[in-house]
Amino acid sequence: MRTSLYDLSVPTFLQTIRAVAGFLQRAAKHCAETGADPGVFVDARLIADMAPFHFQIEALTHHSVWGLEAVKTGVFAPPALIGAMPFAGLRALVDEAIVALEALTPAEVNGWAGKALNITLHRPLDENDRSWRPWAPRQHAFTPETFLLSFSLPNFHFHAVTAYNILRSRGVPLGKRDYEGRLRNSSF
């Protein structure tokens, strides 16, 4: 059985981004129950040289929605980062990404398969600097499949799991199933 470009991407992004929506909901519920302010998560980091929570949420939406837009157009050009925003704004970004992904049809996405993509990606200016900025452009030759499998999906999952870990490290009661989301079995 062959896996289509749609099957490779959209349901995979949706499974995890819906899980992210779920653990953002759990974080809000946890805060309501404990009297904590969910705004404390916005700038939270796992470690000082890692990007904050709000960046993780923006980046995972960029690598899903805008990763697919790059496959469609040949240009990876997500919108500029918004930066710190209220926790409710982060939840809204995730909800908007879900709506955008749900709007994609198998025929539309599968129509983008197999073409040559020359995409400019950004790498750290100083390879010894592991901080998340500044970055310099570098041209890469991809197909839609290799772009998604080697760039967008790994980055998407990295930012999703980092967001999960930030919440978990701040006391939000989450488990592995919260990250996995709804599994896609044969009857899905």
Lowest model confidence (mean pLDDT) among 61-65, 106-110, 139-143: 139-143
Q: Whole-angstrom Cα distance, residue 109 to residue 123?
A: 27
Q: 82 or 121, which is more confident?
A: 82
Please tell me the predicted confidence (pLDDT) of residue 139.
Answer: 77
Angle between the N-to-C axes of helices 5-34 and 87-102, in degrees from 0 to 180, rounded to the nearest 10 = 160
Domain presence at residue 46: yes
Query: What Å distances lie between residue 35 and 26, 30, 105, 166, 175, CA to CA?
Result: 14, 8, 42, 19, 22
Q: Characterise 106 by phi-psi region: left (phi > 0), alpha (psi -120 to 50), beta (else).
A: alpha
Please tell me the predicted confidence (pLDDT) of residue 84.
Answer: 86
Please tell me the predicted confidence (pLDDT) of residue 160.
Answer: 96
pLDDT of 113 above 90: yes
Domain presence at residue 80: yes
pLDDT band with cut points at 50, 70 and 90 for residue 187: low
Which whole number is the average pLDDT over 165-169?
A: 94
Task: Give me the CATH number covering residue 161.
Answer: 1.20.120.450
pLDDT band with cut points at 50, 70 and 90 for residue 182: confident
pLDDT of 167 above 80: yes
Domain presence at residue 122: yes
Count the domains in the chain.
Answer: 1
The boundaries of the domain holding residue 58 are: 5-106+117-127+136-180
pLDDT of 188 above 50: no
Domain presence at residue 31: yes
- DSSP assignment of 31-65: HHHHT--GGGGTT--SSTTSPPHHHHHHHHHIIII
- pLDDT per residue as tens digits for the range 20-45: 999 999 999 999 999 999 999 999 99
Model-level pTM greater than 0.95?
Answer: no
Please tell me the predicted confidence (pLDDT) of residue 72.
Answer: 93
Domain presence at residue 86: yes
Q: Whole-angstrom Cα distance, residue 106 to residue 44?
A: 37
Lowest model confidence (mean pLDDT) among 31-40, 123-132, 135-144, 172-181: 123-132
Domain presence at residue 146: yes
